Amino acid sequence: MYAALDIGGTKIAGALVDDAGVLRGRAELPTPARESASRLADTVDAVINALALHPAWGTVRGMGIASAGPVDTANGTVSPVNIPAWRAFELVESVRAHPMLFDGIEPVLIGDAVAVAAAEHWRGAARGAANALCMVVSTGVGGGYVLNGRLHPGPSGNAGHIGHVSVDLDGPPCACGSRGCVEGYASGTAIARHALRAGWTPPPGREPSAAVVAESARAGDTRALAAYDRSARALAAAIAGSATLLEIEVAVVGGGVARAGEVLFTPLRRHLRGFAVLDFTRRLTVRPAALAQDAGLVGAAAAARGHVPQEVTA
Ligand code: ADP
Ligand code: ZN
């Protein structure tokens, strides 16, 4: 059994995960994202307390922590963009100091999108793939790579930040400081913004969001379809770039926006044929993510199990 934590800007989730990657116990608290570093750490401790009540806690052999990034896995610190009080916060040290953690258990830190890649490779849509990219398209856009059958977190755990690869030299400035980033076209935030700018309005009483844009697209609204087409084009360029550089065979796309289904995947596959043009890139397949909300927890457990950056065994 492994203990897993998934720390995001909205919630702090924890679970016990068995050797087959199945969740056995789960706990969750809202992230006090605007509060102090120590209040945040108390919330992580409270989630661990809840897990420690589970009858299987005594069989825990390792702990993985997936966190919103940037992370610094070499130093065990996190600086999540959406959690301002944590800058170079010593998360691994803080978790290790929890009184319920057994001696000898060394928490393993992993970025949240890299965790999703680990999870999809262990028991999801990238299972069995030697070279894969897993993208998380939600409020932002993240990603992680499996290369030569192994997770590739990179030296600081941040490899795969595909949302901040530029696909437009003269594109709009991005919050990261660059311009024309994939995230500015492909994220749920960008889809809603683009649709609104094109004159789309949500149905009465609904907030504008990528989810509502998807409903309009399904009903044939051309502005909503155009917003998804633009997102799909940016994703296709990024995926094709990865295939060209790294010979990835599989691209898995998950996150809330992937729930749009064919509204996203049909234009994505079409645009990919325009970008992935060299012979060796043409075998690339795009698949929706197989694991839903709990991919981060499963990936954290995969990290604990495989001791990232070593092999994540199948
Ligand atoms: P988070 O960004 O907090 O990780 P999600 O992965 O749920 O959360 O992503 C939220 C984004 O996904 C929002 O932009 C939302 O509009 C979009 N989304 C959620 N459900 C759907 C859906 N069924 N179709 C398209 N977009 C969706
Ligand atoms: Zn950027």
| Domains of the chain, residue spans | 2-111+294-313, 125-289
Q: What is the pLDDT of residue 307?
A: 56
Q: Which of 31, 138, 191, 207 to mutate to test the pocket of ligand 1 (most atoms within 8 A of CB)?
A: 138
User: CA-to-CA distance for 180 and 137, rounded, in angstroms?
Assistant: 16
Which ligand lies nearest to the CA atom of residue 187 in the structure?
Answer: 1
Same fold, 2-111+294-313 and 125-289: yes
Give the closest ligand to the alpha carbon of residue 190.
1
pLDDT, residue 157, reads 97
User: Taking a C-beta distance cutoff of 8 angstroms, is the pair 213, 257 a contact?
Assistant: no
Ligand 1 pocket (Cβ < 6 Å) reads 10, 138-139, 188-189, 209-211, 214, 255-257, 259-260
Give the C-alpha separation, 151 to 210, whole Å. Answer: 30
Which residue has its alpha carbon closest to ligand 1 atom 5? 256
pLDDT value at residue 293: 81
Q: Inter-axis angle of helices 222-246 and 188-197, to 10 degrees?
A: 140
Hey, which of 134, 139, 221 would you mutate to test ligand 1's pocket, going by the most ligand atoms within 8 Å of its Cβ? 139
10-residue mean pLDDT series, the chain (314 residues): 95 96 95 96 98 95 95 97 95 95 90 97 95 96 96 96 96 94 97 98 97 98 98 98 97 97 98 96 95 93 74 45
In whole angstroms, give the CA distance from residue 10 to residue 32. Answer: 8
Q: Domain 125-289 belongs to what topology?
A: Nucleotidyltransferase; domain 5 (3.30.420)
**In this structure, which long-range contacts are made by residues 48-51, counting pairs with CB atoms below 8 Å and at least 24 apart in sequence?**
48/3, 48/5, 48/14, 48/95, 48/98, 48/100, 48/101, 49/100, 50/14, 51/3, 51/14, 51/15, 51/16, 51/25, 51/27
Contact 58, 3 (CB under 8 A): no
CA 258 to chain centre: 12
Single pTM value for the model: 0.93
114, two tokens: 């890299």
Write down the architecture of domain 2-111+294-313 according to CATH: 2-Layer Sandwich (3.30)
Minimum CA distance residue for ligand 1 atom 4: 138
